[in-house]
Amino acid sequence: MNRYNPYAQLPSKLLCGFIFFLTFAFLCGNPIHALFAQTAEQAQTAEQESEADSEAAKIERHRRNVAVALNYCRASFHRIKKYPTQIVMEEERQKILNNLNLNVIQDAEIIKLYSDVLEEIGQIQLTDKEEELYETKYKKSLRHELVFDTLSVGLNLMTASYINAVQIGANSWWDYRNFKWNRDNEVLKLEKTRVNAVVKKSSTFLDTFWRLAQKNNIPDRWLIRSTDLDSLEQAMNQKDPQVRLRILKRMQPFMECYPPYWYYLARTEQTLGQMFEAMATYNRLSSLETGHFRRDDMLATAYANQAVIQAYLGQQTAAVQTAKKALNESAEVWEANLACAKILQKAGELADAEDAILRNLDVDLEREQSTVTLLTFYYDTNNTTKLAKFLGDEKVLAYVPPPVLIRLASRLPEQQTPPLVWTALASSLRIEPRLCFGEDSIIVAYHPVWKINRSKVSLHFGDRIIEGEKFRQNDVDYILFPQVAELGGVLSGPSELPALKLEIQYGKKDPILLAFSDQSISGKAGGTGSRLATDSHRYQLVAAQWGAKQVAYVPHATPKTAQNSYIYGKLEIMQEIKTAEKPEPELEKQETSKDSELR
């Protein structure tokens, strides 16, 4: 039986079609070669149109690049004129004017004027006092704004509020550029003659601003005005991010070619948790900003924040690629370096992650958080050799809060645990009986680096668990555990002290357990009911534990030596302890706010 083959008649159908095509061409009066020639002509026209579009796109990009460069210059000179201080001038010179790529301007006269302004600023040097004020204004203000401090980093508390960490993201100089300076500060004000020299030359430069704009046919809406810059500064000083976002969006028609605007818009969207909108805005920023600076702090921070968002959204491969782009743009944004290091570490690219952290430490860009981040990196990667080396350095330990130190040291075997660990821990707190008539109390004094108000502390005494009362006196944090047991006489002093434990819990992380036992010391007996015992018996720290992992006990300094060790600064304990006081209102407010953010 023959089956039907649908392809058997295909050649004859193609032949019929071709004959029909020839007949149709003949009837229309068009020769065959003319038809093919027409097709070739259409293809050539399309190619020419594509080339024209490409050329138009290049011209458009060049015009936008010129507009961006001019806007950066105008913004810098506007800030110098508004805040005529040496510090502002130095910031603008380093971050923008001396860092800007002038190849896009291609005008010899303008570049000459630009160079004159830089030379004039360069002749004004910062004094030691002004550099100190700069440290206070920028670097210390930056640390004050941080939600996650060394305690949070070292104990990995930010995982409890990961979305908050993503929304906060990484900051750079650009995030603090809009801090308002006090123009009436006499210490910072310059002599008028020195200011006028800079302002005059910058004004001459701006006079040529419009000529270059006209030469390149730059639309007026691409160029920013001084009023636009003032409005942007006011918007960025708006504390409510919802209000700030609305104001920024209304400014968009006048900020099309000013990259910092898009950066601030993206940062605000990120703060509000609008991750997809922030990603789109960061993309627009990168297309506009790329190529304008030799070292681009803003673009590095933008890429770092993009990488943080991508990691949060589960786009791990893209996050790693974006983090590497951030590190290539600039090595001088310490928060971006640390954010990228976390992403690279999670992806298993450990060498690059370590190098990202060391960028901060090698040039002393930032030391406090970077030190703890590096030690946490060695803890997470089980590099006990390097971890032990750093924990044996007194200068390093000064940056490591005791709770973090306990967590890190719990990773080390006994033979690698530096004795300095125990010296540091013993010097950071004191626990002593408070003798009175009836059952005696236990009082614990903590160095402020413990940040004890952010923890829950309880005393384990036999089968009892006793809650304490926190208070602060003379910059020392105390916890009073009342009516623990009969520990001695008011006049005779304490007898042999029973063993006890402290349990300290930060957030939902593993608890810290500290064990204390009696150690006899020489001293005088006596005292009153309101005095700490300084007699022949005193508690000594003998064990420390992070969750189920114990810190290896090694011989360390005697209690007397430990008390005189100032790794964290001197712990000044008052012999006269007043009635338990509540935390100072401002301290309590700050700590409560910090706790809610961490949660």
Q: Give the pLDDT confidence score for residue 162 in this predicted structure.
A: 53
Average the pLDDT over each of 194-198, 234-238, 463-467 and give the range with the smallest value: 194-198
Instruction: Please determine, for residue 534, whether its predicted confidence score (pLDDT) is greater than 90.
Output: no
The closest of 398, 348, 404 to 376, measured between CA atoms, is 404
> Coil, strand, or helix at residue 454?
helix
Give me the half-sphere count of Cα atoms (radius 13 Å) on the Cβ side of residue 68.
27
Pairing between β-strand 469-473 and β-strand 464-467 as defined by DSSP bridges = unpaired
- 271's CB contacts (< 8 A; 6+ apart) are 167, 168, 169, 241
Q: Give the pLDDT confidence score for residue 281 in this predicted structure.
A: 97
The answer to whether residues 423 and 562 touch, using CB atoms and an 8 Å cutoff, is yes
At 288-331, the pLDDT tens digits run 888 888 888 999 999 999 999 999 999 999 999 999 999 999 99
Pairing between β-strand 476-485 and β-strand 440-446 as defined by DSSP bridges = antiparallel
Helix or strand (DSSP H, E) at 37: helix 32-82
Averaged pLDDT for residues 255-272:
94
Structure tokens at 474: 């003379």
The DSSP-derived string for 407-448 is HHHTTS-GGG--HHHHHHHHHSEEEEEE--SSSEEEEEEE-G
pTM to 2 decimal places: 0.77
Instruction: Please determine, for residue 133, whether its predicted confidence score (pLDDT) is greater than 60.
Output: no
Q: Give the pLDDT confidence score for residue 524 in this predicted structure.
A: 40
The answer to whether residues 504 and 456 touch, using CB atoms and an 8 Å cutoff, is yes
User: H helices within 313-383, ranges in order?
Assistant: 316-329, 334-346, 350-362, 368-380
Burial environment of residue 360 by CB neighbours within 10 A (0 to 12, 13 to 18, 19 or more): buried
The closest of 370, 371, 379 to 409, measured between CA atoms, is 379
Structure tokens at 480: 């009073």
Q: Give the pLDDT confidence score for residue 299 in this predicted structure.
A: 93
The answer to whether residues 498 and 149 touch, using CB atoms and an 8 Å cutoff, is no
Averaged pLDDT for residues 132-149:
50
The closest of 52, 54, 124, 116 to 88, measured between CA atoms, is 124
Instruction: Please determine, for residue 349, whether its predicted confidence score (pLDDT) is greater than 70.
Output: yes
The CATH number, out of the four listed (1.10.1040.10, 3.40.50.10540, 3.30.2350.10, 1.25.40.10), of the domain defined by the range 148-179+224-381: 1.25.40.10
Helix or strand (DSSP H, E) at 473: strand 469-473
Structure tokens at 455: 């923890």
Q: How many CB atoms lie within 10 A of CB 230?
A: 12
- Please report the sign of the dihedral spanned by the C-alpha atoms of residue 422, residue 428, residue 433, residue 439: negative
> Coil, strand, or helix at residue 390?
helix
Average the pLDDT over each of 1-15, 64-78, 267-281, 555-569 and give the range with the smallest value: 1-15
Structure tokens at 425: 């821990």
Q: How far is CA 557 from CA 141, 400, 544, in A?
A: 37, 19, 16
Q: Give the pLDDT confidence score for residue 49 in this predicted structure.
A: 54
Structure tokens at 11: 């050649």
Q: What percent of the chain has pLDDT over 90?
A: 35
Instruction: Please determine, for residue 487, whether its predicted confidence score (pLDDT) is greater than 50.
Output: yes
- What residue has token string 């209000």? 243
Q: What percent of the chain has pLDDT over 70?
A: 64
Q: What angle do CA 399, 401, 406 make, to 5 degrees?
A: 120
In the chain, CATH 1.25.40.10 covers: 148-179+224-381
Max mean pLDDT among 105-119, 134-148, 393-407 falls in 393-407
Q: Give the pLDDT confidence score for residue 1 in this predicted structure.
A: 47
